Structure 1
Amino acid sequence: MLRLRMKELAQQQKMSMTLLSHRSEVAYGVIKACYRNPYRSINSETINKIAKALQVPATDLFEDVSEDYMKREMEEKRKNKDAGEGA
Protein backbone atom coordinates (compact mmCIF):
# COMPACT_ATOMS: atom_id res chain seq x y z
CA MET A 1 0.00 0.00 0.00
CA LEU A 2 1.49 3.35 -0.98
CA ARG A 3 1.40 6.15 1.58
CA LEU A 4 2.06 9.80 0.70
CA ARG A 5 4.83 11.37 2.80
CA MET A 6 4.06 14.91 1.64
CA LYS A 7 2.99 16.15 5.09
CA GLU A 8 6.13 14.86 6.81
CA LEU A 9 8.45 16.25 4.13
CA ALA A 10 6.75 19.65 4.21
CA GLN A 11 6.90 19.77 8.01
CA GLN A 12 10.63 18.91 7.95
CA GLN A 13 11.10 21.98 5.76
CA LYS A 14 8.77 24.03 7.98
CA MET A 15 6.55 24.59 4.95
CA SER A 16 2.86 25.26 5.59
CA MET A 17 0.07 23.80 3.50
CA THR A 18 -0.58 27.28 2.11
CA LEU A 19 3.03 27.75 1.05
CA LEU A 20 3.21 24.25 -0.42
CA SER A 21 0.02 24.93 -2.37
CA HIS A 22 1.42 28.22 -3.66
CA ARG A 23 4.85 26.84 -4.62
CA SER A 24 3.47 23.70 -6.25
CA GLU A 25 0.52 25.43 -7.93
CA VAL A 26 -1.70 22.67 -6.55
CA ALA A 27 -5.06 23.66 -5.07
CA TYR A 28 -5.03 24.09 -1.30
CA GLY A 29 -7.97 21.68 -1.02
CA VAL A 30 -5.93 18.92 -2.69
CA ILE A 31 -2.99 19.52 -0.33
CA LYS A 32 -5.32 19.48 2.68
CA ALA A 33 -7.02 16.28 1.50
CA CYS A 34 -3.64 14.57 1.13
CA TYR A 35 -2.61 15.68 4.62
CA ARG A 36 -5.82 14.19 6.03
CA ASN A 37 -5.64 10.97 4.01
CA PRO A 38 -2.13 10.02 2.89
CA TYR A 39 -3.58 6.98 1.09
CA ARG A 40 -5.78 8.90 -1.35
CA SER A 41 -5.30 8.67 -5.08
CA ILE A 42 -3.29 11.45 -6.65
CA ASN A 43 -2.27 11.89 -10.26
CA SER A 44 1.31 11.92 -11.45
CA GLU A 45 1.21 15.55 -12.58
CA THR A 46 0.25 16.63 -9.06
CA ILE A 47 2.93 14.40 -7.54
CA ASN A 48 5.56 15.95 -9.79
CA LYS A 49 4.47 19.49 -8.89
CA ILE A 50 4.59 18.75 -5.17
CA ALA A 51 7.95 17.02 -5.43
CA LYS A 52 9.38 20.01 -7.30
CA ALA A 53 8.03 22.41 -4.67
CA LEU A 54 9.58 20.29 -1.90
CA GLN A 55 12.78 19.89 -3.94
CA VAL A 56 12.78 16.10 -3.61
CA PRO A 57 12.55 13.27 -6.14
CA ALA A 58 8.94 12.22 -6.71
CA THR A 59 9.77 8.77 -5.34
CA ASP A 60 10.55 10.35 -1.95
CA LEU A 61 6.88 11.27 -1.63
CA PHE A 62 5.93 7.62 -1.16
CA GLU A 63 6.50 4.84 1.29
CA ASP A 64 5.26 1.29 1.04
CA VAL A 65 3.31 0.25 4.14
CA SER A 66 1.28 -2.82 5.02
CA GLU A 67 -2.48 -2.78 4.81
CA ASP A 68 -2.58 -3.39 8.58
CA TYR A 69 -0.45 -0.28 9.17
CA MET A 70 -2.78 1.75 6.98
CA LYS A 71 -5.86 0.53 8.84
CA ARG A 72 -4.28 1.31 12.24
CA GLU A 73 -3.23 4.80 11.12
CA MET A 74 -6.64 5.67 9.69
CA GLU A 75 -8.41 4.30 12.80
CA GLU A 76 -6.16 6.44 15.01
CA LYS A 77 -7.02 9.51 12.93
CA ARG A 78 -10.74 8.73 13.31
CA LYS A 79 -10.35 8.36 17.08
CA ASN A 80 -8.49 11.66 17.34
CA LYS A 81 -11.11 13.40 15.21
CA ASP A 82 -13.96 11.95 17.28
CA ALA A 83 -12.22 12.95 20.53
CA GLY A 84 -11.84 16.50 19.23
CA GLU A 85 -15.50 16.76 18.30
CA GLY A 86 -16.61 15.62 21.73
CA ALA A 87 -14.56 18.27 23.53
Structure 2
Amino acid sequence: MATKTIGFAVGDEDRADLDELVEYFGQGNRSAYLRATIRIMKSVKLAEELRDLQAYGQGRVGEQGMTLEDIPEITRRILKG
Protein backbone atom coordinates (compact mmCIF):
# COMPACT_ATOMS: atom_id res chain seq x y z
CA MET A 1 0.00 0.00 0.00
CA ALA A 2 1.44 3.34 -1.03
CA THR A 3 1.26 5.99 1.66
CA LYS A 4 1.71 9.72 1.82
CA THR A 5 2.08 11.86 4.90
CA ILE A 6 -0.45 14.67 5.15
CA GLY A 7 -0.91 17.23 7.88
CA PHE A 8 -3.92 18.17 9.95
CA ALA A 9 -4.36 21.03 12.36
CA VAL A 10 -5.89 20.15 15.72
CA GLY A 11 -6.95 22.78 18.21
CA ASP A 12 -5.44 22.70 21.67
CA GLU A 13 -8.91 22.05 23.10
CA ASP A 14 -9.25 18.87 20.99
CA ARG A 15 -5.80 17.43 21.59
CA ALA A 16 -6.64 15.43 24.72
CA ASP A 17 -9.69 13.90 23.01
CA LEU A 18 -7.62 13.05 19.94
CA ASP A 19 -4.91 11.40 22.02
CA GLU A 20 -7.51 9.35 23.90
CA LEU A 21 -9.17 8.19 20.68
CA VAL A 22 -5.84 7.40 19.01
CA GLU A 23 -4.88 5.26 21.98
CA TYR A 24 -8.21 3.44 22.05
CA PHE A 25 -8.89 2.91 18.33
CA GLY A 26 -5.35 3.02 16.93
CA GLN A 27 -3.38 1.50 19.83
CA GLY A 28 -1.38 4.73 19.91
CA ASN A 29 -0.85 4.85 16.14
CA ARG A 30 -2.41 7.94 14.56
CA SER A 31 -2.37 6.43 11.08
CA ALA A 32 -4.22 3.34 12.29
CA TYR A 33 -6.70 5.59 14.08
CA LEU A 34 -7.30 7.63 10.92
CA ARG A 35 -7.87 4.48 8.85
CA ALA A 36 -10.41 3.24 11.43
CA THR A 37 -12.09 6.65 11.48
CA ILE A 38 -12.38 6.70 7.69
CA ARG A 39 -14.17 3.33 7.72
CA ILE A 40 -16.52 4.45 10.47
CA MET A 41 -17.31 7.81 8.89
CA LYS A 42 -17.98 6.17 5.51
CA SER A 43 -20.59 3.97 7.20
CA VAL A 44 -22.09 7.03 8.93
CA LYS A 45 -22.26 8.81 5.56
CA LEU A 46 -23.98 5.82 3.96
CA ALA A 47 -26.49 5.60 6.83
CA GLU A 48 -27.31 9.29 6.46
CA GLU A 49 -27.75 8.96 2.70
CA LEU A 50 -30.04 5.96 3.16
CA ARG A 51 -32.06 7.82 5.81
CA ASP A 52 -32.48 10.75 3.40
CA LEU A 53 -33.57 8.42 0.60
CA GLN A 54 -36.05 6.72 2.91
CA ALA A 55 -37.51 10.08 3.92
CA TYR A 56 -37.77 11.09 0.27
CA GLY A 57 -39.51 7.82 -0.59
CA GLN A 58 -41.93 8.15 2.31
CA GLY A 59 -42.73 11.68 1.20
CA ARG A 60 -43.40 10.55 -2.36
CA VAL A 61 -45.61 7.72 -1.14
CA GLY A 62 -47.59 10.17 1.00
CA GLU A 63 -47.96 12.62 -1.89
CA GLN A 64 -49.61 9.84 -3.90
CA GLY A 65 -52.06 9.02 -1.12
CA MET A 66 -50.44 5.69 -0.26
CA THR A 67 -49.02 4.27 2.92
CA LEU A 68 -45.89 2.23 3.59
CA GLU A 69 -48.10 -0.85 3.84
CA ASP A 70 -48.91 -0.43 0.11
CA ILE A 71 -45.25 -0.79 -0.92
CA PRO A 72 -44.96 -4.61 -0.98
CA GLU A 73 -47.94 -4.95 -3.32
CA ILE A 74 -46.69 -2.17 -5.58
CA THR A 75 -43.25 -3.80 -5.68
CA ARG A 76 -44.72 -7.19 -6.60
CA ARG A 77 -46.84 -5.61 -9.34
CA ILE A 78 -43.85 -3.77 -10.82
CA LEU A 79 -41.56 -6.81 -10.68
CA LYS A 80 -44.15 -8.91 -12.53
CA GLY A 81 -44.05 -6.36 -15.35
Structure with the higher strand share, 1 or 2: 1
TM-score class normalised by the smaller sequence = 0.3 to 0.5
Question: If the length of structure 2 is used for normalisation, what is the TM-score?
Answer: 0.34
Instruction: Please identify the structure whose Cα radius of gyration is greater.
Output: 2
Question: If the length of structure 1 is used for normalisation, what is the TM-score?
Answer: 0.32
